[in-house]
Amino acid sequence: ETGVTQTPRHLVMGMTNKKSLKCEQHLGHNAMYWYKQSAKKPLELMFVYNFKEQTENNSVPSRFSPECPNSSHLFLHLHTLQPEDSALYLCASSQVITGRAGANVLTFGAGSRLTVL
């Protein structure tokens, strides 16, 4: 496996369900990101993790709970979602190199398409 892998690719859940999205990167990167893309809208940054520590929470509702157990894995736990949370959820990773500000490139996974009924 190479790059950034997201599972599942498609998920349908009811509003009372609890589910999780998983992201795994095989690039040796130290930063990971969750983005949300609703229909016909730009990507919205949700969370940023650097060396497993959350460094950005873009005012995301608490029904979305991220978890980053190590630099290679990122989860998004979903609970009591609303139909308007239906979207494409994209994971990305990058390598932050001290002293090389220009070397940081974001690599995305293919996304998990979530439908909330």
Partner 1 sequence: DAKTTQPPSMDCAEGRAANLPCNHSTISGNEYVYWYRQIHSQGPQYIIHGLKNNETNEMASLIITEDRKSSTLILPHATLRDTAVYYCIVRSRTTSGTYKYIFGTGTRLKVLA
The runs of H, that is alpha helices, within the chain are none
CA distances, 23 to each of 13, 53, 68, 77, 101 (Å): 19, 16, 10, 11, 25
Nearer to partner 1, 3 or 61 (CB): 3
Alpha carbons 83 and 59: distance in angstroms, whole number: 19
- Which of 12, 27, 106, 117 touches partner 1 (CB under 8 A)? 106
* Token duo for residue 11: 């998920």
Contacting residues for 51 by C-beta, under 8 A, at least 6 apart: 30, 31, 71
Nearer to partner 1, 15 or 106 (CB): 106
Q: Which stretch binds partner 1 (CB under 8 A): 14-22, 47-55, 59-67, 68-76?
A: 47-55
Is residue 56 at the binding interface for partner 1, with CB under 8 A as the rule? yes
Query: Taking the complex as a whole, how short is the minimal distance between the CB of residue 19 and partner 1, in angstroms?
Result: 20
**Residue numbers at the binding site for partner 1 (CB under 8 A):** 4, 31, 33, 35, 42-45, 48, 50, 53, 55-56, 88, 90, 92, 94, 96, 101-102, 104-111, 113
